[in-house]
Structure 1
């Protein structure tokens, strides 16, 4: 583990690195929480708008607000033609700048393990959602091997290179998520696992995709050319032992939802 923070500043690079994965898992997630149309939505940690797009496309919100601490990510999201009606706010998940009961549904997609104090983040979502509304999240199973690029982080570790880790990886476990929702006073709590796969055309497609990411990409940037070339060969042997062809990776997320109790 390293203390260097993971920074999200390249909206386009992040979309290729994680946005595709976010939408794959997000479609399953939205189908599971099955929201009614015409709700007031809050997307906490919306990033570059990958999941926000799904909300617009599939859930017909009457209003939608996305918050994120990265202005660069928000700038990318604001440029998307589907998101022109979305209000994007630069804000902290642990101190949401909204009144109590301002929304009908708050979601935190692939974000909770990045929140330094997850309990505060969940409590804030519960505060701003009206009684009877839903607070929900999904997160890669970081400690159970569910992260999409676990092969990369394991290969980096084998050559003595640490990758930046989120501050709260334990918050992706079912038992921790459930405790967070209970502590926030939420009711009717349900959980489920979401498994997804993504296929890359070839190794170059895969390599160029994760180079743009904020975690392993930072570790590779710190290597010299010879080290990077050697690591590329190592990773290719691990992921593509046949030497060519597409590469299919799997990932697993844990999802949770709960209801804000009435007065």
Structure 2
């Protein structure tokens, strides 16, 4: 019980922290997720402008391509953050439409200014009450965001509602070890079929190691002194890095499909 209270308190602290960072962010702060690298390396071909963000991009790419091609499809990303993943996937995977949704008004303002692409749109909204009709999307993407949602089961219900039959929920996130059993139970009870699911701690740790200098530069620039005790960047040696190493946290990637 105490662990759950601490986890919820941590989420409440991080929400205003991310809003604060979004208001201060320069145009190069496009990703807030951790990182990902395989062995052998993924070696995604990237434009020079994308190369500094290689390891967060690879987490997006691996998540979004779990169920095949997204070309010509209608995509919703819930929890789009600073929109770097949405812009990358729109440019490279060629969906017919890509909508990025986030509760953070400052983040959506940033996204609308920074990412202007013909098929890409950003909407302020609640993950637990999606402002879209039923069966509106061919795929829903969610990257490292759902652990902040107060009612994960409501979010899954909304994902199921807005997906078309045969649509895919392409998902990756992290949980403390003591939440993993309930996490799995919620996914299995979502009304969607789990096509694949795996722990990716090793790949995320490898990505963090390779991306540490990038995150340190961003964190030093954006995080004032009062945020340092409560927030931390995903860097080698940080607590979140150590927790992945020891198994105190489990980072997983899933593909679910609506019948």
TM-score (norm 2): 0.67
What's the offset of the Cα at 1:200?
Answer: 5.5
Note the alpha carbon deviations across 1:114-164, whole angstroms, 9 max, x for none: 111001001101100011111121013x425xxxxxxxxxxxxxxxxxxxx
Q: Matched residue pairs, number?
A: 208
RMSD between aligned alpha carbons? Answer: 3.3
Equivalent pair of 1:177/1:256 in contact (CA under 8 Å): no
Equivalent pair of 2:66/2:170 in contact (CA under 8 Å): no
**Match among 141, 160, 163 for residue 129 of structure 1:** 163
Q: 2:191 maps to which residue?
A: 185
Correspondence 1:35 to 2:69: yes
What's the offset of the Cα at 1:22?
Answer: 3.5
Note the alpha carbon deviations across 1:78-112, whole angstroms, 9 max, x for none: 12345453221110000001110011111111111
Q: 2:219 maps to which residue?
A: 210
Aligned partner of residue 28 in structure 1, secondary structure:
helix
Aligned partner of residue 171 in structure 2, secondary structure:
strand
Correspondence 1:15 to 2:21: no
TM-score (norm 1): 0.66
Equivalent pair of 2:33/2:143 in contact (CA under 8 Å): no
1 CA distance for matches of 2:109 and 2:128?
A: 21
- Residue pairs, 1:73-222, within 5 angstroms: 73-81=107-115, 83=117, 85-140=119-174, 142-143=175-176, 170=179, 173=180, 175-194=181-200, 195-196=203-204, 197-198=207-208, 199=210, 207-211=216-220, 218-220=226-228
**Match among 36, 43, 48 for residue 82 of structure 2:** 48
Alignment CA distance shift 1:31-1:129 (3 Å): closer
Equivalent pair of 1:211/1:217 in contact (CA under 8 Å): no
1 CA distance for matches of 2:135 and 2:117?
A: 24
Note the alpha carbon deviations across 1:194-215, whole angstroms, 9 max, x for none: 313143686xx6544334667x
Alignment CA distance shift 1:181-1:218 (3 Å): farther
Instruction: Please identify runs of 4+ aligned residues in structure 1 that moved more than 6 A.
Output: 249-252
Equivalent pair of 2:73/2:97 in contact (CA under 8 Å): yes
